[in-house]
Chain A
Amino acid sequence: MAEPIIQIRNVTKRFGKVAAVDNVSLEIMAGEFFVLLGPSGCGKTTLLRMIAGFELPTEGEILIDGQDMAGIPPNKRPVNMVFQSYAVFPHMTVADNVAYGLKIAGVGRGEREERVREALQLVSLAGFEDRKPDQMSGGQRQRVALARSLVMKPKVLLLDEPLSALDAKLRAQMQFELSELQDHVGITFVTVTHDQDEALSMAGRIAVMNKGEVAQMATPSDLYEYPANRFVADFVGSVNLFEGKLTLDEPDRAAVDCAGLGKVYLNHGVTGPHGADVWIALRPEKIYLHVPGDGKAIRAAAQDAPDDHNLARGVIKGMSYLGDITLFEIQLDNGAKIRVSRPNLSRRDQEDFTWDDRVSMHWRADSPVVLLS
């Protein structure tokens, strides 16, 4: 296991009476691509700025590479930051921007030019040395900001919403490039984003933040498949949530009776008190859609669930065709609404169902997640 490069211990930051960051403790490992994910105002940027030194914790301590950062100003910390606005110096050429930190560090001219050249090559900006920032696109300016930070060989690179100002195509491309770059240089990346796709595609580990607290910290797939609470389940991806009561809880199986969704069966135990109020989280893509009456197919797919479990019926009330998938909004017979997504595996799949069709749905016994909070 790698060593932690950043240790955040019981850090709280208050602005007036509001706690922007509330007693957060987490460790970021050396060489990791770590993402702080959360809605705006959740405290993720404040946490990042405390690591950089632009904000000071009200309580708690931050250690970088084992050294307590209390009292150490931003210009003395072994971290560099890529700002949301990129903050490329507009009155300097690209080469001068990238050389800025090296010049201050007193790196000699020869080595400086060599390192600037390397850094620009790393971000595919070789040949842009003499350009001014206002002659470049947003994506290129961001690469300048990246090169300017990477050239300093920091222990940790902090990125504040690095892709938020780029258009969708470029963003998808930069997600790959950033992951690749991080792999290549081996520097720890800590990124702040509100975009769950961005977080899932780039991160090694994600900390989801809500109202100043860490709601869950996990790998992208664990976060998506095993959310710890309703906030995470709802914020990462889309989800159907139903309130219910735990009626059966054994080591290898459990059942929840939901007023909205009916009887839900799980092929694993839940460590919750019997009769407790719980929530069932069910992802739209984990629900199979059928023409009603096709009982054999349903039983075959939901083979491991007892009769009358993991099964619902309703009417299609909304449909949106997104190309790769079609999203359905279905009103269940008891009035509750559920979202189901269906991959368009062949070209005419979207014609299978339409508005006001009666449908039945089932899901596997390992698909629902039982949430206690």
Chain B
Amino acid sequence: MALQDWKQHKRPFAAIASGPLLWLFLFFLVPMTIVWLYSFGQNSGPADINITGTLDNYKRATEWLYLSIFGKSLAVAALVTLICLVIGFPVAMAITFAPEKWRPWLLVAIMLPFWTNLLIRTYALMMLMGSNGYANQGLGAMWEGASWLKTMVGLQPLEAWTPVQLLYNNFAVVLGLVYVHLPFMVLPLYSALDRLDKSLIEASLDLGAGHLKTLFTIVVPLAGPGIMAGVMITLIPALGAYLTPDLMGGTDSQMIANVIERQFKRANDWPFGAALSFLLIYAMFILVALQSLRGDRTKTGER
């Protein structure tokens, strides 16, 4: 029995869909609604929340302190997305144009990190970047080499190596987020570039364009939808990143998710945490809406 048209097969369609729908309802919609209701409440005891319909939580959430953290999170996420795009585009191009035999293996290499727990990956990265980690050891060795070279030509040696602070600052957060989110960027870019008719590139070369010109006038515009998908799929999780800034960031590099966590745990102010959460969700909704609006416009523009 064909199920292409659900309208002609309502019963089997309902039977198949009801399970997942029930799941979504019980474990997504119901808890989200409860949290949403909390955001209009206030603490009446250590474990009791009165839903009074107050907007105080939202008023507090839009104070400058929290807005600035929102803004900073957005800036960090945008920077991370940009870096991912700049690194990911050439990687996706390389995979697209690699010999056919290699492509599945290269894609596996991109996806390999997903098979490891995020926490383990983050700690591994931290071990590399610690003040006594391999990154610093390597830099130290180079420093000493330079110092030795100076003595060889009769100059004063450099002063002793002091490890660079690579962890617990904004740099570490951006690096960690780029590391985690790069595969999210590469995969949609790859799928867009892979669909591109290669003879379009040849036609551009044939008409006298160089490789760079072809890249920016043919490849990038035609990969536009893939780029937008990659940007959204990187930006949104980066905006809500919690673990990376928590483990790798310093006191000045907390992002909005860390603030929300603090409200739910240490501050035990669930209503305020809920309000902050929903502001973040609304911000993401706006981003997605903007993107689909843009998509609609380019589509109607082409018709």
> Which chain B positions have C-beta within 8 A of A145?
203
Interface band, chain A:
20 to 34
Does B209 reach chain A (CB closer than 8 Å)?
A: yes
Residue contact A81 to B203, C-beta cutoff 8 Å: yes
Residue contact B205 to A148, C-beta cutoff 8 Å: no
> Which chain A positions have C-beta within 8 A of B2?
none
Binds A, one of B19-27, B78-86, B166-174, B194-202: B194-202
Does A84 reach chain B (CB closer than 8 Å)?
A: yes
- Compute how far the CA of A59 lies from the CA of B59 in the bound complex, rounded to whole angstroms: 77
Does B60 reach chain A (CB closer than 8 Å)?
A: no
Does B222 reach chain A (CB closer than 8 Å)?
A: yes
Binds B, one of A98-106, A351-359, A364-372: A98-106
Residue contact A75 to B210, C-beta cutoff 8 Å: yes
Residue contact A148 to B202, C-beta cutoff 8 Å: no
Choice from A89, A104, A105, A132 contacting B203 with Cβ under 8 Å = A89
Of residues 286 through 324 on chain A, the ones whose CB sits less than 8 Å from some CB of chain B are: none
- Compute how far the CA of A24 lies from the CA of B68 in the bound complex, rounded to whole angstroms: 71
Choice from A79, A90, A104 contacting B209 with Cβ under 8 Å = A104
Residue contact A85 to B199, C-beta cutoff 8 Å: yes
Contact with B along A79-109 (1 / 0, CB 8 A): 1110111010111000000001100110000
> Which chain A positions have C-beta within 8 A of B204?
89, 100
Contact with A along B40-74 (1 / 0, CB 8 A): 00000000000000000000000000000000000
Does A50 reach chain B (CB closer than 8 Å)?
A: no
Residue contact B302 to A132, C-beta cutoff 8 Å: yes
Residue contact A83 to B203, C-beta cutoff 8 Å: yes
> Which chain A positions have C-beta within 8 A of B207?
75, 80, 100-101, 104, 148-149, 152
> Which chain A positions have C-beta within 8 A of B202?
52, 54, 74, 81, 83, 87
Residue contact A89 to B218, C-beta cutoff 8 Å: yes
| Shortest Cβ distance from residue B208 to the other chain A in the assembled complex, whole angstroms | 5
Number of interface residues of B (CB under 8 A): 19
Nearest A residue (CB) for B197: A85
| Shortest Cβ distance from residue B297 to the other chain A in the assembled complex, whole angstroms | 14
Residue contact B197 to A75, C-beta cutoff 8 Å: no
Does A272 reach chain B (CB closer than 8 Å)?
A: no
Choice from B197, B206, B221 contacting A74 with Cβ under 8 Å = B206
Residue contact B199 to A75, C-beta cutoff 8 Å: no
Contacts A54-B202, A87-B200 given; does A75 touch B222 at CB 8 Å: no
Contact with A along B215-243 (1 / 0, CB 8 A): 00110011000000000000000000000
Does B9 reach chain A (CB closer than 8 Å)?
A: no
**A to B CB contacts below 8 Å, 15 in the list:** A52-B202, A74-B202, A74-B205, A75-B208, A81-B203, A81-B206, A83-B202, A87-B199, A89-B204, A91-B222, A101-B209, A134-B302, A148-B207, A149-B206, A149-B207
Binding site for B on A (CB under 8 A): 52, 54, 73-76, 79-81, 83-85, 87, 89-91, 100-101, 104-105, 132, 134-135, 145, 148-149, 152
Binding site for A on B (CB under 8 A): 197, 199-200, 202-210, 213, 217-218, 221-222, 302-303
Known: A89-B200, A89-B203, A105-B208. 6 other contacts (CB 8 A): A74-B205, A76-B208, A83-B202, A87-B202, A148-B203, A148-B207
